[in-house]
Structure 1
Amino acid sequence: MKTIFITGASRGFGRLWTEALLQRGDQVIATARNLTDLEGLKKQYKDRFLPLQLDVTDRIATIETVNKALKYFGKIDVLINNAGYGLFGTVEETTEDQARAQMETNFFGLLWVTQAILPVMRAQKSGHIIQISSFLGLTTLPMLGLYNASKFAVEGLSETLASEVAHQNIKITLIEPNGYATDWAGASAVQTENGITDYQPVRDAFTTAGEDASTWGKPIATVQPVLELIDNPEPPLRLLFGKVAYDAVERSLTCRLKEIHHWKDVSIKAHGH
């Protein structure tokens, strides 16, 4: 039995994984902005389930919430940083408030929870931090510029962290899903104002691509992979979820390497000696 701390647990992946972990006998601390949707699980699983209200963008509240969880269960084996949302729209049309809010939740919120959990895991000399990133932390799609940027930031932060905590027996994994049929692109999403007509062809192409149901993964299919990841004593740093993610990232990295090799002579010349 493991003790898992998961953010964004009221809907989507978070809700699905929380239920699966409880069903198999784990202890779960589940945080969400609104706990109403978790009341049924509390009645069913009682002392093995601790729902806590949390806005991950509030750093002080995040530290206090982690302390409550530690006091209740005495340990935290696994952190799943799942809170986040999608911001849809072109880069130019994104407002300052929208851009800052996207980074506050997807990047800074993840950072605050990670920082709050790390002292616990260092004291234990063990732990596994699972960051829910995206395949759009490794490649990009138009109409998701700020979302892409937030996940690229999560990737850089987490890869760095992995090198800093490995000697403490703390593992880091980035889960990188493609799009799934959750409400990530629905009720949880934010849209920019589509006021610039020059971008209409980009918007139309993006909408058309999204209408292909085969590109959207089935959320239930992620449950067993997540459980296997949590149980693996040597988890990977990165784990793509979905065939679209796999194909897109493989294609992107292949093109990137080709371009790097093509410009090798210029790169070496720029060193100066």
Structure 2
Amino acid sequence: MKPKIIFITAASRGFGRIWTEAALEAGHRVVATARNVDSLAELVDKYGDAVYPLQLDVTDRSAAFSAVAEGHRHFGALDVVINVAGFSLYGTIEETTEYEARAQLETNLFGTLWVTQAALPFMRQQQAGHIIQVSSVGGVVSFPTLGLYNASKWGLEAFSEALAMEVKDFGIKVTLVEPGVYETSDDENAPVQENIIPAYDPLRAVIRQKFSAKKGDPGATTALILNMISEPEPPLRLFLGNFPYPLVTSKYQERLATWAQWKKASDAAQGK
């Protein structure tokens, strides 16, 4: 297998760190980015020139373009981009402040968009590439107390699906990775929930208990991610773990049943 040049965001912790190390162990070369580049020092000590650490806050569009260009310049190519950077904002819709909502979208949605836009010219020029977007089961269905997180991931799903159709003739592939619930580190820069309404506490407790019972081992995802890096025809969407599939299929059955129930009324609204 020919080694790939991989650009990974949020390489300092969670999935980003685990997948960076797995890629390096497999012989790939990695442009590893993080808000705090010092957190990548151990990777440099262990893997040497195979890893190129860069500081990046993905919410800064110009910085995203500069980092991608610098990574391409350093290694001379850009085969795979893995957009990991993001965090989960907890809070009901009523509780969410303007700052919290904007911070969620700036990182999860716009941050991923900026890195994707920065990578596309290089991939178009070489007529090849693979963009892997870390979405979530929460990008396909919604959960109470995670509405703005869901909004950010649904937006990511939407633009990435459109992107896949736009770039397929350039040899560029797009994959939306949709993890279930995993034991990954919380984002240290996630906003602290400012507005807590006690009336929602019982609902919060139910959701917390439901998710805590479903957490998977993030280390178990590495084989599948490495396979995606080398897969010539990767899927557009890919679940991680056994939590998403039964939940999503059940939700889609509910949606189809509702649309079917209201089909006659919907058709009548067409007019002529």
Query: TM-score, structure 2 length as denominator?
Result: 0.96
Q: Residue 246 in 1 paired to residue 265 in 2? A: no
* Aligned equivalent of 1:51, options 53, 66, 82: 53
Distance 1:228 1:20 in 2: 11
AA at the equivalent of 2:261: H
8 Å contact kept, 2:96–2:195:
no
1:113-151 CA-partner distances (Å, limit 9, x unpaired): 000000000000000000000011110111111100000
8 Å contact kept, 1:88–1:189:
no
Distance 1:235 1:211 in 2: 31
AA at the equivalent of 1:55: D
8 Å contact kept, 2:32–2:53:
yes
* Match of residue 198 from structure 1: 199
* Match of residue 86 from structure 1: 88
8 Å contact kept, 2:161–2:236:
yes
Distance 1:121 1:204 in 2: 45
**1:35 to partner: Cα distance:** 1.8
Question: Map of 1:207-222 to 2, 5 A cutoff?
Answer: 207-212=208-213, 215-222=214-221
* Match of residue 141 from structure 1: 143
* Match of residue 179 from structure 1: 181
Quick one: structure 1 residues 41 and 195, their matched pair in 2 at CA, closer, same or farther if it must change by over 3 Å? closer
Distance 1:248 1:173 in 2: 20
Quick one: structure 1 residues 79 and 57, their matched pair in 2 at CA, closer, same or farther if it must change by over 3 Å? same
Distance 1:109 1:207 in 2: 27
1:127-180 CA-partner distances (Å, limit 9, x unpaired): 000000001111011111110000000000000001100110100000000110
Question: Map of 1:154-173 to 2, 5 A cutoff?
Answer: 154-173=156-175
8 Å contact kept, 1:86–1:190:
no
**1:197 to partner: Cα distance:** 2.4
Indicate the RMSD between aligned Cα atoms, in angstroms: 1.2
**1:208 to partner: Cα distance:** 2.4
Distance 1:261 1:64 in 2: 49
Query: TM-score, structure 1 length as denominator?
Result: 0.96
* Match of residue 21 from structure 2: 19
| SS of residue matched to 2:243 | helix
* Match of residue 226 from structure 2: 227
**1:218 to partner: Cα distance:** 0.6
Quick one: structure 1 residues 237 and 15, their matched pair in 2 at CA, closer, same or farther if it must change by over 3 Å? same
**1:195 to partner: Cα distance:** 3.0
* Aligned equivalent of 2:125, options 115, 119, 123: 123
* Match of residue 66 from structure 2: 64
**1:187 to partner: Cα distance:** 4.5
**1:231 to partner: Cα distance:** 1.0
| SS of residue matched to 2:266 | helix
Q: Residue 237 in 1 paired to residue 239 in 2? A: no
AA at the equivalent of 1:58: D
AA at the equivalent of 1:208: Q
Distance 2:114 2:201 in 1: 37
Q: Which moved more, 1:193-202 or 1:56-65?
A: 193-202
Distance 1:74 1:187 in 2: 33
**1:191 to partner: Cα distance:** 4.1
AA at the equivalent of 2:199: D
AA at the equivalent of 1:252: K
**Unaligned segments of structure 1, at least 5 residues:** none
**Unaligned segments of structure 2, at least 5 residues:** none
Distance 1:24 1:210 in 2: 32
Q: Which moved more, 1:188-197 or 1:43-52?
A: 188-197
Quick one: structure 1 residues 189 and 180, their matched pair in 2 at CA, closer, same or farther if it must change by over 3 Å? farther
1:63-82 CA-partner distances (Å, limit 9, x unpaired): 11111111101100000000
Quick one: structure 1 residues 260 and 174, their matched pair in 2 at CA, closer, same or farther if it must change by over 3 Å? same
Q: Give % identity.
A: 51
**1:230 to partner: Cα distance:** 1.1
* Match of residue 10 from structure 2: 8
AA at the equivalent of 2:218: P
8 Å contact kept, 2:5–2:79:
yes
The count of corresponding residues between Structure 1 and Structure 2 is: 270
